[in-house]
């Protein structure tokens, strides 16, 4: 894909078989017009960031290339979330699927509906550790090197999980090493 922007998409779920939700989202993203999968991190399990009266989350980061501008990309991600049953019941609450644009090339975006780099990225272990797995030399606009951010962010209870590969994922990527998609 020439003249395309490298993006990093955060994926998260803690309802309705979270691993399966992430696998379905990866397949949908991979098939979407204007997107091309590059690398997918391992899946990680961790405590919710918000209210603690909800199940643990499963998270991953997907490195992609896109021809879509930030706002149309956000619209596509929201369409995928809604297609997988996303309901926004409470802030930082449980969800079938959460897709976030973490980084969009080296650009900073400040719109009412979208901030890139993603707000809170520098303090979220469930984003930083998967990012480090697939792009350890990354420099994050306005925030510095990924290595510096990871050094300041505790792993806490975040853990890489072994999952049973679906056919489509196992054919395209070795999840244990963040290999090319």
Catalytic residue positions?
86, 95, 98, 100
Tokens 């779920």 sit on residue: 13
Q: Residue 104: in which H helix or E strand, if any?
A: strand 98-104
d(CA 177, CA 86): 30
């Amino acid at each position: 894909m020439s003249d395309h922007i490298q993006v990093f998409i955060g994926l998260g779920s803690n309802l309705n078989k979270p691993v399966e939700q992430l696998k379905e989202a990866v397949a949908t993203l991979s098939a979407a017009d204007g997107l091309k999968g590059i690398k997918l991190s391992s899946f990680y399990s961790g405590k919710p960031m918000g209210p603690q009266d909800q199940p643990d989350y499963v998270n991953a980061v997907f490195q992609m290339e896109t021809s879509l501008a930030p706002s149309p990309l956000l619209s596509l991600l929201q369409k995928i979330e809604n297609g997988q049953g996303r309901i926004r019941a409470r802030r930082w609450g449980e969800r079938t699927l959460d897709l976030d644009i973490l980084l969009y090339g080296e650009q900073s975006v400040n719109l009412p509906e979208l901030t890139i780099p993603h707000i809170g990225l520098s303090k979220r272990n469930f984003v930083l550790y998967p990012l480090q797995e697939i792009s350890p030399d990354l420099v994050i606009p306005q925030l510095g090197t990924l290595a510096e951010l990871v050094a300041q962010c505790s792993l806490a209870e975040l853990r890489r999980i072994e999952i049973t590969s679906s056919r489509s994922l196992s054919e395209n990527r070795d999840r244990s090493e963040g290999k090319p998609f």
